[in-house]
Amino acid sequence: MSNALRRFSIAVLSVLALTAQAAAQSYPDRVVRIVNPFPPGGSVDITARLLAQKLSENLGHQVIVENRAGAGGNAGADSVAKSDPDGYTLLFTAPGPLVVNQTLYTKGLPFDPTKDFAPIAIFAFTPIVLMVNPGIPANNVQELIAFAKSNPGKVYFGSAGMGSTPHLSGELFKSMTKTEITHVPYRGTAPAMNDLIGGHIQMFFDLLPGSLPQINGGKVRALANAGAKRPAALPNLATVAEQGLPGFDSSSWVALVAPAKTPASVLAKLRDEVAKAINSPDIVARIRELGSEPGTVSEKDVRAFLDAETKKWAEVIRVSGATAD
């Protein structure tokens, strides 16, 4: 390379670096949209709005949540994957679109969860709770198993939709207990919870934040935590594993991602701002009040976690035979 060409290349790189730096310094200069690919009223919506409010305060520009539900979260995720990679359209989602649906939807997805998104953060780790309608004669997991086996095909479990972690929790429960329970998918958590309270379905795995008010109000009966550890919000609630199903471990989380090719400087700014939110006392208190735990913004840790979750749920889907096609 000639000296002139070398100087030209350095000049171009310098301009690009200054442009990226300027973009990061001016970002955002307008409204930022966070797309929640699930209906309003559920656990994802609650935590998305919590983050959006804090980011609005810290960034000095409004951050809004837009619900774009459909196809197990795929519709909203696809819209973000195909949006301009400028940091003004982000995806805030439960596991489905990022780690589950690529296996569950055997005909494929209109986007690639690994290649089409740049991870920003896991905002919160969220327990999943097994609940039943109060009219069901079961006060623990073993009694529920006995009830299901004595009523084969007559016990219905709801979920927030095909491929949601609550759905796969139910499939895992069905497989491990060898019970004939029937999945009833809903368009979101709220209608499933309404039908559980009304007795139209008998059991429901759901994320704790959206369920805690109904549990505390006695409208539903919590039987167990589906994860490996008892949730801090319900420390006396034994896990499914503790109640006779060793190895049962199902929990959820909510993540914030951006379209791939979003400038590194903008991603760094977003990670910094989300880190401030996750570490702020009011947000930590609210996350824990909802029954969750603060997450992480480490790019390396988030990527490794998403990869591990993809493999984990792919195996659950394979064993259960679940499919959304």
For 165-227, give the DSSP string: HHHHHHHHHHHHHT--EEEEE-SSHHHHHHHHHHTSSSEEEEEHHHHHHHHHTTSSEEEEE-S
Nearest CA to 148 out of 206, 203, 205, 227 is that of: 203
| Mean pLDDT, range 107-129, rounded to an integer | 96
Backbone torsion region of residue 41, taken as left when φ is above 0, otherwise alpha when ψ lies between -120 and 50, otherwise beta:
left
User: Whats the size of the chain, residue-wise?
Assistant: 325
Please tell me the predicted confidence (pLDDT) of residue 134.
97
Q: What is the pLDDT of residues 57-83, one digit of tens each?
A: 999 999 999 999 988 899 999 999 999
Q: What is the pLDDT of residues 126-164, one digit of tens each?
A: 899 999 999 999 999 999 999 999 999 999 999 988 788
Q: What is the pLDDT of residues 202-251, one digit of tens each?
A: 999 998 888 989 999 999 999 999 998 888 888 999 999 999 999 998 98
Check pLDDT > 60 for residue 38: yes
Check pLDDT > 80 for residue 1: no
- Asked if 257 and 114 touch (Cβ cutoff 8 Å), the reply is no
Q: How far apart are CA 259 and CA 274, in angstroms?
A: 17
Nearest CA to 251 out of 187, 196, 179, 313 is that of: 313
- pLDDT band at 7; cut points 50, 70, 90: low
Question: Exposed, middle or buried, 15 (CB in 10 Å: 0-12/13-18/19+)?
Answer: exposed
SS3 59: helix
- Asked if 76 and 35 touch (Cβ cutoff 8 Å), the reply is yes
- Asked if 270 and 134 touch (Cβ cutoff 8 Å), the reply is no
Q: What is the CA radius of gyration of the chain?
A: 21
- pLDDT band at 16; cut points 50, 70, 90: very low
Please tell me the predicted confidence (pLDDT) of residue 3.
62
SS3 239: strand
Structure tokens at 124: 């919160």
Please tell me the predicted confidence (pLDDT) of residue 195.
98
Residue 30's contacts (CB-CB under 8 Å, 6 or more residues apart) are 61, 88
Q: What is the pLDDT of residues 257-288, one digit of tens each?
A: 999 999 999 999 999 999 999 999 999 999 99
Tokens 């609650």 locate to: 46
SS3 69: coil
